[in-house]
Amino acid sequence: MINVIKSSEHYHNEEDWLSTYWHFSFAHYQDPQKLNFGPLRVFNDDIIQPGTGFDLHPHRNMEIVTYVIEGELDHKDNQGNHGVIQAGEVQRMTAGSGILHSEYNHSKEKPLRLLQIWIFANKRDLDPSWEQRRFDKAARLNKLLPVIVPENEKDGQALHIHQDTRIYISSLSPGGKVEHNLAKHRKAYVFVIEGRVKLNNSAMEARDAAKTENESRLAIQAERPTELILLDLPEKYAINN
């Protein structure tokens, strides 16, 4: 089963400095039907205006993945980490027992667009950690490039998180096609960053998302230049003390 969520169905929160689309319950927006999808807890599509951002704030017991689409994100945290995450780069942060961080768009002219994804960690109160990585656009052209994999998988390029979840990014040319096989008891969350695709027989436009369940094979074909992200998730997950 594939359930397409149109862009207009995402909760849109508009402020002077931030325009954001929340796919799941977040902050003041609470919908009991949109609490999570497997271990995926938060999927936010943020546009941050120049010279603004998120002041120092806490997180705990989440694996937080940030993918910068346009602009540059300045990250600082109380663990002494500081990095500038540029378009095409991925940041992975284990909040664990607790971390404080800030995120800013220091550009004076350009908005910053990013995806922030929260995934439940498989163990409570891990040691906080942070890292970032750039992924070559050519490596994801008409391919699904793994950028996040579980901690026990050997992958020299991808970042690792404490959960049985894999995240892929792809750039598709018109007519370009990728396929992804889902193992038993797995499901997927697909988001079209820009462009237009067919997911199996379901049409998806820019900012549309799709939840897939009881599907063993996903075929994605672009009808125009497309950027997308795919999360391969377990149906069930555990959080250990």
pLDDT given at position 132: 97
Residue range 60-84: mean pLDDT, rounded: 98
pLDDT tens string 208-228: 999 999 999 999 999 999 999
**198 domain-assigned:** yes
pLDDT given at position 156: 79
Residue 189 has pLDDT above 90, yes or no: yes
Q: Residue-wise over 30-59: b if at least 16 C-beta within 10 A, else e?
A: eeeebebbbbbbbbbbbbbbeebbbeeeeb
DSSP state of 195: S
**240 domain-assigned:** no
Number of domains in the chain: 1
Residue 135 has pLDDT above 90, yes or no: yes
**239 domain-assigned:** no
Residue 123 has pLDDT above 90, yes or no: yes
**134 domain-assigned:** yes
Residues 6 or more apart from 120 whose CB is under 8 A from it? 36, 39, 41, 61, 62, 63, 163, 237, 239
**241 domain-assigned:** no
For 75, the domain range is 2-234
Residues 6 or more apart from 183 whose CB is under 8 A from it? none
**Structure confidence at residue 238 as a pLDDT band (50, 70, 90):** confident
Two structure tokens written together for 107: 């550009």
Residue range 45-57: mean pLDDT, rounded: 98
**67 domain-assigned:** yes
Two structure tokens written together for 155: 């992958």
Strands 159-161 and 145-150: parallel
- Average pLDDT over the chain reads 97
Two structure tokens written together for 158: 């991808």
Q: How far apart are the two ends of the chain, measured CA to CA in Å?
A: 34
**Structure confidence at residue 47 as a pLDDT band (50, 70, 90):** very high
Q: Which of 53-62, 94-103, 150-159 is predicted with the least confidence, judged by mean pLDDT?
A: 150-159
Q: Which of 16-20, 117-121, 154-158, 234-238 is predicted with the least confidence, judged by mean pLDDT?
A: 154-158
pLDDT given at position 154: 83
Q: Distance between CA 102 and CA 96 in Å, rounded?
A: 17
Residues 6 or more apart from 50 whose CB is under 8 A from it? 105, 107, 108, 109, 110, 111, 112
Residue 241 has pLDDT above 90, yes or no: no
Q: What is each CA distance from 101 to 54, 74, 158, 221, 223, in whole angstroms? A: 9, 10, 23, 38, 39
Q: Distance between CA 5 and CA 211 in Å, rounded?
A: 8
Task: For the beta carbon of residue 177, count every other beta carbon within 10 angstroms.
Answer: 13
Residue 213 sits in a domain whose CATH number is 2.60.120.10
**117 domain-assigned:** yes
